[in-house]
Amino acid sequence: MLFVEGRFLFFFLVTFLVHWGLPRNRPRKLWLLACSYVFYGAWDWRFLFLILASTVIDFAVGLGLTRPSRPSGRRLWLAASLVANLSILGFFKYAGFFVSEGAELLSAIGLPCSIPTLSIILPVGISFFTFQTMSYTIDVYRGQLAPRRGLGGFLDFALFVGFFPQLVAGPIVRAVTFLPQLDGKRLWSSVPVRAALTLFLFGFIKKACIGDQVAVVVDAVFSNVGAAGVLDHWLAVSLYTIQIYCDFSGYSDMAIATAALLGYTLPDNFAHPYLARSITDFWRRWHISLSSWFRDYLYISLGGNRRGRTRTFANLALVFLLCGLWHGAAWNFVLWGLFHGAFLILERLGGKSPGSLSLASRLANLPAPLSSAYTLLVVMVGWILFRAGSLAEAARYLLVMVGAHPQGASTPQAGPPLDAASASWWLLVLAFVICHLALSDGRLKRRLDTIAPFPFGLVLGAATALALFFAATGHTPFIYFQF
């Protein structure tokens, strides 16, 4: 059930009307929990048992953490939560990868073995809700959050884990920010209706009118690397840079807007990442809920930058290795994570002796267009690793881009759909850059806030009609659903 589908709009309309029609808080929460399970069960009802098991485990661990008086007992409870959650995640997401890679390794050293291929269906959103439940137990362990108790507490915790707007692709919500919202009754008068409707429309346009449209070209080039020309490969990775941002931030926009219309606040997940002036800055702006999760629960726990440069670099490398693995069980994701980690380390080099500057400081002193161009180029190379089906395919793609691959270098044009419309696609890239810059200062949002209700309704209705007209006829699943 995609946010851009008609059946979701019907589902949300029913959810919305009943939610605000119920007079008390607890029936509202029960209704939202039931709707959330219906939403998740629409993907595959069998995985409802999985999310329920994850909920029960961490609710029980939260209670268990309050019982032992000795630190060793509390550490044992925390370890139980981490082992249980990571084992579930590891089985569904990584078991097939490690089994197949292990079989290949044994064959390579002369020990051929016959291991059946594991065909394990990956539950939608498992990486997201697993990180959410782990954040709860870690926060309770650290004393930053009191555990929920009793039947009412279990209901609150279950809704925190399963809340449908952000369930399958984030943002990753922290219990310390969401659970307190469940304590008081949501008031319709506090709902930012105009901002929520505008944000949902922006998200719809990003996904249906831009992301799904450019996916046609991206898929055509990446599915047959080397068949098109050099410029077409540059165009395809430029369009993928747009696609993944519009796809993922579009989902986040619609999730935040949907939650807001129900009276709840979700964290921002993007802050114009393609305007970043360094890779360090990029990760403060891209998938903020994930990068901050790794920072708060792993990087700082490892010592952060408090134990010398060598330890800091090792911590960064490990965090981004795991960040790559979080995205998928494949070597290209591992390399993508290490690639970004290497640039974060590179940007910290220098600045040790008096008068010397780190690369990050030098980038900050450059004109914004130059430092942003450097960042965007690095990010685009990383997206090739992210999008390619294998490391070999990614290497071939990069060779074509620099004219070093004989097949791509000798092919001046691509076949359909690029040869007749290449100029139009480049104009779309330019238009995206201009719009990205125009929206970055919040001026448009402030102007929309000043429009009177009736003219605003007309503008919103006209914009919605145009969006539906230009939307792709077929919608692809959100890219981050696979994670």
Among the listed residues 43, 163, 132, the one whose alpha carbon sits nearest the alpha carbon of residue 477: 43
Given the residues 19, 233, 287, 327, the one annotated as active site: 327
**Rounded Cα distance, 287 and 269, in Å:** 5
- Phi, psi for residue 110 in degrees, rounded to 5: 85, 20
Is residue 327 among the annotated active site residues?
yes
- DSSP character at residue 410: T
| Burial environment of residue 6 by CB neighbours within 10 A (0 to 12, 13 to 18, 19 or more) | exposed
Q: Where are the alpha helices (DSSP H) in 328-401?
A: 331-348, 359-365, 368-387, 391-401
CA–chain centroid gap for 459, Å, is: 30
Are 211 and 250 contacting, i.e. CB atoms less than 8 angstroms apart?
Answer: yes
Token pair in block for residue 124: 């939608």
**Secondary structure (DSSP) of 421-458:** THHHHHHHHHHHHHHHHHHTTSHHHHHHHTS-HHHHHH
- Phi, psi for residue 161 in degrees, rounded to 5: -70, -40
**Rounded Cα distance, 396 and 332, in Å:** 13
Q: Which residues are catalytic?
A: 327
